[in-house]
Chains A and B, each alone.
Chain A
Amino acid sequence: MTEPLLDVEDLRTYFSTEEGVVRAVDGISFKLKPGERRGVVGESGSGKSVTAMSIMRLIEPPAGEIVTGTIDYRGGNLLTLDEDEMQAVRGGKIAMIFQDPMTALNPVYTIGDQLTETIVMHQNVSKKKARDIAIEALEDVQIPNAPARLEDYPHQFSGGMRQRVMIAMGLSCNPDLLIADEPTTALDVTTQAQIMDLMFNLSEDRGTAVLLITHDLGVVAGFCDTVQVMYAGGIVEYGTVDDIYHNPQHPYTWGLLASMTRLDEDQRARLHSIPGAPPSVIDLPVGCRFRPRCEFAIDICGRVLPAIHPIGEGVQEVACHRAEELDLKSIDIATDDDGAVDVDEPTEQTVEDTAVQEAVEAADGIPDDEAEVTT
């Protein structure tokens, strides 16, 4: 058994807002091995980005706070480090790249300034040496004509090139772990293929572990070794990519896969769809958080939050009361016709006609020239 590189235990990150406490990450635990490529998948609001920001200690009190938990990195708890020590970890040991490379780069400094700054800070080398390392880093991410491009500003790079620069910056100090938060979401699909290919090769060559945060199950399938699926602040399922894609045990994972359109399948029939929308993390349902949308929910699901537990022979884990008895694989989703129409709360036939009428009258008062725009 190899020592884990990262060991997150019962992490809870809450934000206080006017409406109440947002339990963005609510008691998650996971371990990451050196060199492992892990996909963290989930929909918006599932807590996947906050997980990443918690690891990097980028949650600023008083808005947000890590209320409990430990994040052990190579045996030491990151949560007990002071700011200087944490600064050495960020960029040096654990690097992070973001969805939008334009906002992550400073527009008034050249790419060279920004790259060498990181290198000088973490590697204790001269500026000249840092420049050489920077050129090498840009060459590693296949940016042509690297020495000249060091003098360019971020706006002179295309979106894909900027993301390459971010990766170069992230990997310039040879971190053990790269956290990539939706790194290709803002990019076109052919550029995405280039960037994922590049990240895969770099991680393979250097043995860098990657935590890939994404909503795209397609990207994960070809890139990751393992996957954790998050829903409303918790991990609902964990396993190897084969486990998750070929033998999902949680109804949410299963539903998510079934609702995807696939390029390799001619499926003009109706898509399976998960009814409703993810719950508000301010007002989480009692019991299993997926219960309001789950077609397999029974009595206990509404009372007890299921704990994540091992299932089957391998490493797979699932947080579902019914995982052992349900055989999701055998369900024919093609015949499952769940009308998207009844996605909301049950209809209350108490329409306040007067209010509707007022609204329609309000629309009547709109001058024609303004109204024309929307027609």
Chain B
Amino acid sequence: MTNPVETSQANQTADLSELPDDVILRVSHLVKEFPITKGVFYKKQVGAVKAVSDISFEVKKGQTLGLVGESGCGKSTTARALLRLLEPTSGDVWFRSDTLGTVVNVATANKSQLRDVREDLQIVFQDPYASLNPRMTVASIISEPLTVHDEGDKKSRIDQVKALLKVVGLQPEHANRYPHEFSGGQRQRIGIARALALNPSFVVLDEPVSALDVSIQAQVLNLLDDLQDEYNLTYLFIAHDLSVVRHISDRVAVMYLGRMVEIADNEQLYDEPMHPYTHALLSAVPIPDPTIEVGRERILLEGDIPSPANPPTGCRFHTRCPIAVEGKCDVDEPQLEELAPNHWVACFYPEVKDVF
């Protein structure tokens, strides 16, 4: 196992040997800060919102990495920065592109490389109401990526739109309708069809089921499972719902205030969580079973998440951590360490805890 914290010191288009064969994406030391400016005419930077601070992880081909955390922890910013929808402040995003046949650093890729990479790297957004243009028909929405990337002729695009609609569980005659004619679940299917149009190998799913009702959530999760099997897709699944992430992920990473605090294989993270924040997070998720809930002890965190514009010194979680040690946790910043095979934790006092 390669150390996910280690940077690969290679140039822009490193040779394939830089990434182990089974790794499709390696994010290393990714940083994204948003400047805080003052003044109307002479904008002066007075600070920065440190949304993502030095995040490193790998995703293996055909697997799903779940990225969890509460609002403001930087999970969506991480996704957008690695897709270059936001310009990263620093760091590398190594991606094995099928289209280019090589490993590309997305963070520094030029415009034409980026265009090619995006054939392989797609995203599905959370809000199926806001992410579809209300003035475009479903057919134009789904065929737009094909048009942009100049794929096929009109005839083949029509066939492909019909095929994609069928793949995501919609009917070919839906092609001529507009987004408002669909329910939330169906709109999310349209968003998924658009992401699949270019046959990507990697799809970022940013809270894809959060806006949906429970019975519809299950339909969409099943669809994502089926598509992954059928097209050998790799997913980065971003969510705040830890039970959904448990269902879909092979590996899970937990973020807090711009930092990654724990990353482990699915069973390991849920059965033997080691970081106190992961404990609190897991213990806060309600389980739909009154017998379990009544006897369950919650780890209640004090206060609120601090501002990322002014994160605490030392460990960013120390202000709310039930086991923080004065003079240590508020001074030194813990780094991710491999405490069990494939199980990385950033804490000075980690311990395995049963939270159910």
CB within 8 Å of B: which residues of A?
43-44, 158, 160-161, 188-194, 196-197, 215-222, 241-242, 245-246, 255-257, 259-264, 266-268, 270-275, 277-278, 339-345, 347-353, 355-357, 359-364, 366, 368, 371-372, 374-375
Query: What is the distance, in angstroms, from A310's C-beta to the closest C-beta of chain B?
Result: 21
Given A222-B296, A274-B218, A374-B194: A360 and B71 interface contact (C-beta under 8 Å): no
Query: What is the distance, in angstroms, from B307's C-beta to the closest C-beta of chain A?
Result: 10
Q: Which residue of B lies closest to A268 (CB)?
A: B247
Check B221–A356 contact: CB distance below 8 A.
no
Query: What is the distance, in angstroms, from B131's C-beta to the closest C-beta of chain A?
Result: 8
Check B284–A192 contact: CB distance below 8 A.
yes
Query: What is the distance, in angstroms, from B212's C-beta to the closest C-beta of chain A?
Result: 9
What's the Cα separation between A191 and B71 when bound, in Å?
11
What's the Cα separation between A359 and B140 when bound, in Å?
5
Check A344–B171 contact: CB distance below 8 A.
yes
What's the Cα separation between A64 and B320 when bound, in Å?
46
Chain B residues positioned under 8 Å from A342 (CB to CB): 169
Chain A residues positioned under 8 Å from B294 (CB to CB): 222
A-B contact pairs, 11 of them (CB 8 A): A256-B215, A257-B288, A262-B288, A263-B242, A266-B270, A271-B222, A340-B223, A341-B166, A347-B171, A357-B158, A360-B147
Given A263-B246, A271-B222, A361-B154: A194 and B301 interface contact (C-beta under 8 Å): yes
Chain B residues positioned under 8 Å from A359 (CB to CB): 137-140, 143, 161, 175-176
Query: What is the distance, in angstroms, from B302's C-beta to the closest C-beta of chain A?
Result: 9
Check A43–B213 contact: CB distance below 8 A.
yes
Check A219–B144 contact: CB distance below 8 A.
no
Query: What is the distance, in angstroms, from A265's C-beta to the closest C-beta of chain B?
Result: 8
Chain A residues positioned under 8 Å from B282 (CB to CB): 263
Given A270-B225, A359-B176, A363-B144: A348 and B171 interface contact (C-beta under 8 Å): yes
Kindly identify which residue among B173, B185, B226 contacts A352, using a CB–CB cutoff of 8 Å. Answer: B173
Given A273-B222, A357-B158: A264 and B292 interface contact (C-beta under 8 Å): yes
Whether B335 is near chain A, meaning CB under 8 Å from some CB there, is no
Kindly identify which residue among A194, A245, A270, A352 contacts B289, using a CB–CB cutoff of 8 Å. Answer: A245
Check A161–B304 contact: CB distance below 8 A.
yes
Task: Report the interface size for chain B: residues with CB under 8 A from the other chain.
Answer: 80
Interface residues of B in 244-297 (CB under 8 A from A): 244, 246-247, 266-267, 270, 280-294, 296
Given A221-B290, A352-B173, A357-B154: A190 and B218 interface contact (C-beta under 8 Å): no
Check B139–A218 contact: CB distance below 8 A.
no
Query: What is the distance, in angstroms, from A194's C-beta to the closest C-beta of chain B?
Result: 6
Q: Which residue of B lies closest to A242 (CB)?
A: B290
Whether B162 is near chain A, meaning CB under 8 Å from some CB there, is yes
Check A362–B140 contact: CB distance below 8 A.
yes
Query: What is the distance, in angstroms, from A135's C-beta to the closest C-beta of chain B?
Result: 20
Check A340–B137 contact: CB distance below 8 A.
no
New contact pairs (20) apart from A190-B300, A261-B244, A352-B176, CB-CB < 8 Å: A189-B240, A189-B241, A189-B281, A215-B214, A256-B215, A263-B282, A263-B285, A266-B246, A271-B222, A275-B219, A339-B222, A340-B169, A344-B169, A359-B138, A360-B140, A360-B158, A362-B137, A364-B147, A368-B148, A371-B147
What's the Cα separation between A57 and B215 when bound, in Å?
31
Chain A residues positioned under 8 Å from B242 (CB to CB): 189, 263
Most chain B CB atoms below 10 A, which of A43, A220, A277: A277
Check A277–B225 contact: CB distance below 8 A.
no
Query: What is the distance, in angstroms, from A144's C-beta to the closest C-beta of chain B?
Result: 9
Q: Which residue of B lies closest to A243 (CB)?
A: B290
> Per DSSP, are chain B's interface residues mostly helix, strand or loop, or mixed?
helix
Query: What is the distance, in angstroms, from B294's C-beta to the closest C-beta of chain A?
Result: 7
Whether B183 is near chain A, meaning CB under 8 Å from some CB there, is yes
Query: What is the distance, in angstroms, from B281's C-beta to the closest C-beta of chain A?
Result: 6
Q: Which residue of B lies closest to A275 (CB)?
A: B219
Kindly identify which residue among A190, A219, A363 contacts B136, using a CB–CB cutoff of 8 Å. Answer: A363
Check B287–A267 contact: CB distance below 8 A.
no
Whether B220 is near chain A, meaning CB under 8 Å from some CB there, is yes
Question: What 0/1 readout, one digit per residue, does chain B (51-82) give for beta carbons within 8 Å of chain A?
Answer: 00000000000000000001100000000000
Chain A residues positioned under 8 Å from B148 (CB to CB): 368, 371-372, 375
Check A222–B286 contact: CB distance below 8 A.
yes
Whether B109 is near chain A, meaning CB under 8 Å from some CB there, is no
Check A360–B161 contact: CB distance below 8 A.
yes
Interface residues of B in 105-136 (CB under 8 A from A): 115, 118, 122, 136
What's the Cα separation between A343 and B290 when bound, in Å?
31
Kindly identify which residue among A43, A193, A355, A361 contacts B214, using a CB–CB cutoff of 8 Å. Answer: A43
Most chain A CB atoms below 10 A, which of B145, B147, B296: B147
Kindly identify which residue among A215, A256, A273, A350 contacts B173, using a CB–CB cutoff of 8 Å. Answer: A350
Check A360–B215 contact: CB distance below 8 A.
no
Check A343–B169 contact: CB distance below 8 A.
yes
Check A217–B288 contact: CB distance below 8 A.
yes
What's the Cα separation between A339 and B170 when bound, in Å?
12
Most chain A CB atoms below 10 A, which of B71, B176, B285, B289: B289
What's the Cα separation between A255 and B218 when bound, in Å?
10
Kindly identify which residue among A158, A189, A273 contacts B218, using a CB–CB cutoff of 8 Å. Answer: A273
Query: What is the distance, in angstroms, from A215's C-beta to the closest C-beta of chain B?
Result: 7
Check B285–A158 contact: CB distance below 8 A.
no
Check A261–B246 contact: CB distance below 8 A.
yes
What's the Cα separation between A49 and B91 when bound, in Å?
47
Q: Which residue of B lies closest to A218 (CB)?
A: B286
Check B293–A222 contact: CB distance below 8 A.
yes
Query: What is the distance, in angstroms, from B125's C-beta to the closest C-beta of chain A?
Result: 10
Given A215-B214, A372-B148: A351 and B289 interface contact (C-beta under 8 Å): no
Check B154–A364 contact: CB distance below 8 A.
yes
Chain A residues positioned under 8 Å from B247 (CB to CB): 261, 267-268, 271
